[in-house]
């Protein structure tokens, strides 16, 4: 007999959110508390801490007597924000500016960098900007959805204006915070100490600034010194490379925004060559056996970006096929010469049955190959319509 679910007695959504948040905070371990304070980015917790909240406080409760919305994802999102509000002094739960600010990943990264440099979070700066903005009165979504006497179009317009005003204010804060974190005067001093012309760094500094304010990605400005390995010394070089490597591991697409000269460093290159597409952006490695093998070992389809001598070598092609588990390698133009090669065709279809669609049409009547493809599990794609009428 299923266990009877506990009835929720809270009269409002805010009361319920507060009650759950209080219980969560009371039961936090010190390391979890510190982690939440250090990374108060709500979306990061959707499938972790918020999943726990949904299972422990929402899915097992009876909401039949309440008058507020009970969608689990929405509630857990509000609860995690209330938890932040109880842990972080400058985090006001019902403040749109604060919610938008802490939903901006750039702020979270700059906030963490600021603490690493100055020993504390930029509380005063956030408070200053929080006090410097006001909004038109607007209803919460729960109030809009639960009332029949609301001018929805008006509320949407007010909400849009408030959001635009908040975003513009956030950009101003981020520029000021970035200045504090980047410390360009100190960068100039480091460059001069190392015998580097600061004027040469300006284009790379501007590139990093553009990435933050236009592409919305944060990069430590010190990485612009990486091309000067001998001048800055081994200790600085390793530290700056470590910081860029960490960012690339989390956001490999960042490499598309950076000058490819950064990736002359093979350690940084290997971080991104785990994916298929970067080999196409790094011509310095397209004929490098060690790096091509490394790239193919992670994604065989990267062979389309390797030099012709690899594409024309059957053993390299076989190696690429063996490591193409996440894709249909036979559709690539460079694989045309191998679509009749029985060993490679069988190998490709064993790795991924959808390759059957791209191999030579003579194989569409091959019973053993079709059987090999049809026996595979875990892939919803079917080759049935591509088999011969006889099969």
HEC string of 132-155 equals CCCCCCCCCHHHHHCCCCCCHHHH
Higher pLDDT, 85 or 383: 85
> Does residue 377 carry a pLDDT above 80?
no
What is the pLDDT at residue 146? 56
The distance in angstroms from the start CA to the end CA of the chain is 51
According to the model, what pLDDT value does residue 276 have? Answer: 93
- What pLDDT, on the 0 to 100 scale, is given for residue 156? 79
pLDDT of 39 above 90: yes
Q: Which of 263, 268, 269, 201 lies closest to 231, judged by CA? A: 201
CA distances from 270 to 220, 273, 274 (A): 20, 5, 7
Residue 184 pLDDT: 95
Torsion over CA of 10, 14, 18 and 20, rounded to 10 degrees? 60
Q: What is the mean pLDDT of residues 256-264?
A: 92
Q: Highest mean pLDDT: which of 28-42, 67-81, 158-172?
A: 28-42
At 276, is the secondary structure helix, strand, or coil? coil
Question: What's the confidence (pLDDT) of residue 31?
Answer: 96
pLDDT digits (tens, 9 = 90+) for 129-172: 999 998 887 666 555 555 667 667 777 788 889 999 999 999 99
Cβ(254)–Cβ(275) below 8 Å: no
pLDDT cut 70: percent of the chain above it: 95
Interval 291-297 mean pLDDT:
97
Reading the block at residue 23, the tokens are: 């219980």
CB contact burial 122-160 (16+ within 10 A = b; e otherwise): beebbeebbeebeeeebbeebeeeeeeeeeeeebeebbe
Per-residue pLDDT at 341: 94
pLDDT of 187? 96
Q: Give pTM, 2 decimals.
A: 0.80
As a dihedral over the C-alpha atoms of residue 170, residue 174, residue 180, residue 184, rounded to 10 degrees, the angle is -150
């Amino acid at each position: 007999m299923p266990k009877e679910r506990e009835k929720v007695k809270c009269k409002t959504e805010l009361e319920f959110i507060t009650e759950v948040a209080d219980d969560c905070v009371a039961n936090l371990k010190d390391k979890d508390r510190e982690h939440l304070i250090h990374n108060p980015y709500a979306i990061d917790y959707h499938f972790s801490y918020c999943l726990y909240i949904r299972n422990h406080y929402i899915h097992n409760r009876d909401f039949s007597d309440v008058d507020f919305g009970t969608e689990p994802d929405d509630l857990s999102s509000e609860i995690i924000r209330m938890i932040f509000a109880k842990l972080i002094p400058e985090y006001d739960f019902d403040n749109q500016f604060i919610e938008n600010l802490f939903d901006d990943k750039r702020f979270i990264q700059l906030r963490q960098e600021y603490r690493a440099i100055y020993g504390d979070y930029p509380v005063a700066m956030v408070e200053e900007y929080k006090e410097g903005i006001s909004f038109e009165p607007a209803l919460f979504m729960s109030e809009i959805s639960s009332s029949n006497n609301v001018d929805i179009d008006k509320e949407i317009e007010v909400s849009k204006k408030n959001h635009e005003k908040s975003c513009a204010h956030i950009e101003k804060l981020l520029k000021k915070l970035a200045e504090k974190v980047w410390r360009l005067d100190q960068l100039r001093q480091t460059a001069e100490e190392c015998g580097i012309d600061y004027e040469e760094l300006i284009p790379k500094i501007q590139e990093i600034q553009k990435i933050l304010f236009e592409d919305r990605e944060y990069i430590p400005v010190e990485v612009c010194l990486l091309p000067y390995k001998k001048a800055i010394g081994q200790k600085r070089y390793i530290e700056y490379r470590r910081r860029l490597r960490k960012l690339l591991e989390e956001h490999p697409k960042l490499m598309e925004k950076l000058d490819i000269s950064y990736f002359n460093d093979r350690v940084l290159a290997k971080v991104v060559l785990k994916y298929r597409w970067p080999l196409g952006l790094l011509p310095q490695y397209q004929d490098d056996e060690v790096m091509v093998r490394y790239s193919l070992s992670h994604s065989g389809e990267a062979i389309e970006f390797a030099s012709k001598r690899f594409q024309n070598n059957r053993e390299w092609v076989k190696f690429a096929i063996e490591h193409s588990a996440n894709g249909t390698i036979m559709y690539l133009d460079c694989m045309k010469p191998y679509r009749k090669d029985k060993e490679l065709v069988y190998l490709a279809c064993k790795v991924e049955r959808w390759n059957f669609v791209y191999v030579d049409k003579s194989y569409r009547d091959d019973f053993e190959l079709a059987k090999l493809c049809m026996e595979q599990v875990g892939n919803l794609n079917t080759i049935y319509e591509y088999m011969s009428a006889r099969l």
